[in-house]
Structure 1
Amino acid sequence: MLTLLGFAMIATFLVLIMLKKMSPIAALVLIPALFCVLVGKGAELGDYVIDGVSSLAPTAAMLMFAIVYFGVMIDVGLFDPVVRAILRFCKADPMRIVVGTALLAAIVSLDGDGSTTFMITVSAMYPLYKRLKMSLVVMTGIAAMANGVMNTLPWGGPTARAATALKVDATDIFVPMIPALAVGLLFVLVLAYVLGLRERKRVGTLTLTEVLVEEKETVPAGAGAGGGGTQPRPATGGTAGSDDFQGLDPHRPTLRPELYWFNALLTVVLLTAMIMELLPIPVLFLLGAALALTVNFPHMPDQKARIAAHADNVLNVSGMVFAAAVFTGVLTGTGMVDHMADWLVGAIPDAMGPHMALVTGVLSLPLTYFMSNDGFYFGVLPVLAEAGQAHGVSTLEIARASIVGQPLHMSSPLVPAVYVLVGMAKVEFGDHTRFVVKWAALTCLAVLGSAVLFGIV
């Protein structure tokens, strides 16, 4: 019964948000609350929610201060050179812009944090998509898939979880998988090329000069007067959500060109400390945001204005995370996740035993989408590995196969970073889901097929 209710709860949630019958926040809260009552554990709903909130509170804190930090960096112009470089490479060609999105997301993903990747990628690319009237779900979909492939880096999370759960070395999992993951990234780039051609056919192209002229015409006369003013102009807050081409607006009053190298060094130090795990990530972003605000905007009114400019993103994302805590809390607390996992493992025919690595790879797609990485890697993977060992399949093969589902996992409603992506891009989560699921699943299968072909799995 718990297995059936678990699948029904997830299906109900996905259908309602994809049909836009409920907002994601409302669905994440009300659907699990209803099913908790149906399970007969309504009296324990409070405990489940508190447990879920407690587990995701550090993530919510990290996202809150990361949004403020990168929002300030966007305001002061840290990423303006990146936008200009991408624009020159793309030449306002939709095909190049979509490919550039994939490349940028893949490169930034080297820091191992999905939220950071999406904030930087959307901040740089959103103005291009908006100006050329391109599909924003193409941007969110390509960025999510590129990040999903790169999320398999040893410091990205899944590989480390698999290594910990199965007591093997993360390097022994990741290094042999590099050829297959490279194929996966190549698949994303080819897909970006194809989708870019489709966008080019739909919206046409503009020359670089035409885009710059259009942008110049959007800047009010006299906007740059005074140059050193510190009061933000309401129409040009410099956030990714603005309809103006903020990345190339040289007149917005929040720019701090004299502090460019300080801000660049601060960002490099912050990301380095994050990779080296010198402090917990929420603490690093809290310190970074406070320092960035204090140095770039020493006057209190200016600091308040910058915080207010990014308040919508902070509230939307942190609210979504805490709402997701209700969903995960109920799914885990009622035991639905465990029963779903046991049912899936038990449904595997004995004849598939010698092929447990392939089975693990296929199962990683739905399981990492419908449950957290922690739930899959610490709850399900050890069972799959044990079943594989009984048929002579090595633990390392099982571990390698377990990471192929990450391109799809990064668009799971249980991944907080995806709400940063769709929130900053102003894309409905349901629209993103409808677009990305099929392409992300194909990316996963490309990785798995390559791993089998190369003899890795």
Structure 2
Amino acid sequence: MLALLGFLMIVTFLFLVITKRLSVVAAFIGVAVVFALIGGFYADMGQMMMDGIIKVTPTAVMIVFAILYFGLMIDVGLFDPMINRILALVKGDPLKVVLATAVITILVGLDGDGSSTFMVSVTAMLPLYIRLGMSRLVLACVVALAAGVMNIIPWGGPLVRAAASLQVEVSDLFIPLIPVMIAGLLWTLFSAYLLGKKERARLGVVILEEPTPTVAELAATTVEKRGVSKIYWFNLFLTIVLMALLVMDVLPIAILFATAFAIALVVNFPNVQKQQDQILRHANNFVMISTMVFAAGIFTGIFSGTGMMDAMAATLVSVIPESLGSHMPVIVALTSIPMGLVFSPDAYYFGILPILSETAAGFGIDPVEIGRAALLGHSTAGFPLSPLVPATFILIGLVGVSFGEHQKFLFKWAFGTCVVMTIAAVLTGAITL
């Protein structure tokens, strides 16, 4: 009975989200309440929901301060000199332009927002592609590859969803994936090199007599122009220290970002009113994501507290062959991109992933491995392929290509990223074979 109720709960949630009958937040809360009542858990329903909220609170706090920190650093121009330097070096060489596209997207992708990453990267590079006659599909592909790997960072949407869904620490998912991300970024640069060589062979090197509009435009927004040149090195040092402490896992990630943001806010904006304005500037981003995380906590609190999740997992374990079940992490990783074409990020991470993780537990596999495996493709390497992700249409709209052309061109490169990261995850022990 519990297993059937659980499957109905997931199907109802997926139906409401995929058909856009309800927003994700409303679906989380509404479906949780309705099925708790149907199952006769009204007496304990409130406590289950609060338990779920408490478990996801550290994740919500982390995402708030991570968005605020990187939003501030981008606003004060921390990355501008690096971007300007890169653009000045590429000149008219298509190979260098494509490699620069990858590097700039990686830098901009640190803010964890796919839409803004696409807007900044494409705006910076598109004039060069147009002037040199380069393929816009190459631009969309490279930006998508770099942004996809960068979407694994803890303050990005997929890892937040996975942590909230599985109710595990962000660091348990992310720290083992750092070498895997590096492998994915190296593959991205290698892919950019191959695509750039093809463009160079097709077009040759073009001598640009005048700076491109992109370089001139960005040069006007350097750190010096922004009036923060005296604290630029401080911001750089603070960011490096923050990244080092994050990797070392000396404190919870939420505390590291909260502390770093407080320091950066006071140093860069001594005026109290400007501090408040800076926070409000990014309020929309963190309010939307943190609200979703808390709503997810309510949903998973009911889903696990009632025993539905355990019952569903037991049912699946009974029908999956032992030989197949022992390889679930790799299977989840390699199917994560195709699943992204069918299930939206919320539907996959909150509807499918908990069942997969509990099923894996029945075969003696740590559920956190299933979370890491899912992050190797779904809404990361494969998110710019999915018609269910609005940011995809921002990318193709800015670049000026059709969705079909983009999807066909990108798929093999994106799936290659997933394969490379899966191999790296197995070799480093992030997931088991």
Is TM more than 0.5 here?
yes
- In 1, distance between residues paired with 2:53 and 2:140? 29
**For the structure 1 residues 126 and 62, does the alpha-carbon distance in structure 2 shift closer, same or farther, using more than 3 Å as the test?**
same
Question: Where does residue 14 of structure 2 map in the other structure?
Answer: 11
| Uncovered stretches (5+) of structure 1, i.e. residues with no partner | 109-115, 159-163, 165-169, 198-205, 217-244, 387-394, 413-420
Residue of structure 1 aligned with 2:149, choices 143, 146, 150: 146
- Tell me the residue number matched to 2:269: 297
Instruction: Name the structure 2 match of 1:129.
Output: 122
How many angstroms apart in 2 are the aligned matches of 1:32 and 1:247? Answer: 52
Residues 106 and 150 of structure 1 are in contact (CA less than 8 Å); yes or no, is this contact kept in structure 2?
no
- Give the match for residue 165 of structure 2: none
Amino acid at match of 1:142: L
Deviation, 1:261, is 0.8
Whether the 8 Å contact between 1:61 and 1:282 is mirrored in structure 2 is yes
Change (3 A) 1:361 1:255: same
- The partner residue of 2:330 within 343, 346, 361 is 361
Structure 2 Cα separation of the partners of residues 41 and 194 of structure 1: 58
1:332 alignment counterpart: 304
Q: 1:23, 1:97 → 2: CA distance?
A: 40
Corresponding residue to 2:363 among 357, 363, 384 = 384
Structure-2 separation of matches of 1:92 and 1:55: 52
**Equivalent-residue separation in structure 2 for 1:299 and 1:63 (angstroms):** 25
Check 1:78–1:107 CA distance in 2 against 1; reply closer, same or farther (3 A cut): closer
- DSSP 3-state at the match of 1:385: coil
The answer (yes or no) to whether the contact 2:357–2:368 under 8 Å persists in 1 is no
Provide the C-alpha distance between the structure 2 equivalents of 1:65 and 1:191, rounded to a whole number of angstroms: 33
- Provide Cα deviations, 1:174-224, integer angstroms capped at 9, x if missing partner: 99xx8x999876776688799999xxxxxxxx99899953686xxxxxxxx
- How far apart, CA to CA, are the structure 2 residues paired with 1:207 and 1:193? 20
Residue number in structure 2 paired with 1:405: 374
Q: Shift in Å at residue 104 of structure 1?
A: 6.4
Question: Quick one: which amino acid aligns to residue 384 of structure 1?
Answer: F
Contact 2:118/2:143 (<8 A) preserved: no
1:59-98 → structure 2 map (5 Å cutoff)? 59-85=59-85, 87=87
1:119 aligns with 2:122: no
Q: TM-score, normalised by structure 1?
A: 0.59
Instruction: Give the number of equivalent residue pairs.
Output: 370
Change (3 A) 1:208 1:362: farther
* 1:269 and 2:241 are equivalent in the alignment: yes
Normalised by the length of structure 2, the TM-score is 0.62
Tell me how far 1:385 sits from its aligned partner: 3.1
Equivalent pair of 1:78/1:263 in contact (CA under 8 Å) = yes
- RMSD of equivalent CA atoms: 5.5
| Alignment correspondent of 2:55 | 55
Unaligned regions of 5+ residues in structure 2, if any?
A: 128-135, 163-167, 169-173, 198-205, 340-344, 382-389, 397-402, 427-431
| Distance (Å, rounded) in 2 between the aligned partners of 1:373 and 1:285 | 30
Instruction: Verify the 8 A CA contact 1:381 1:402 in the aligned structure 2.
Output: no
Report SS of the residue matched to 2:320: coil
Alignment correspondent of 1:278: 250
Answer yes or no: is the 8 Å Cα contact 1:121–1:143 preserved in 2: no
The sequence identity of aligned pairs, in percent, is 30
Q: Specify the SS of the correspondent of 2:270.
A: coil
The AA in structure 2 aligned to 1:348 is I
Q: Deviations over 1:90-113 (max 9, x none)?
A: 7799998887676667789xxxxx
Over 3 Å counting, the alpha-carbon distance change for 1:186 and 1:320 in structure 2 is same
Give the match's secondary structure for 2:22: coil
Q: Distance in 1 between matches of 2:93 and 2:16?
A: 37
**2:66 match: secondary structure:** helix
Give deviations 1:373-428, integer Å, cap 9, x for gaps.
99679844442138xxxxxxxx9xx998985433235559xxxxxxxx969x899x
Q: Which residue of 2 aligns with 1:226?
A: none
After superposition, the C-alpha distances for 1:354-382 in whole angstroms (9 at most, x for unaligned) are x5443452246579944599967984444
Contact 1:9 1:32 in 2 (8 A): no
Q: Give, in whole Å, the separation in 2 of the partners of 1:209 and 1:121.
A: 34
Determine the C-alpha separation between the residues in 2 that align with 1:385 and 1:251: 53
2:399 matched residue in structure 1:
none
Q: Which amino acid aligns with 1:60?
A: A
Q: Is the 8 A contact 1:24 1:320 kept in 2?
A: yes
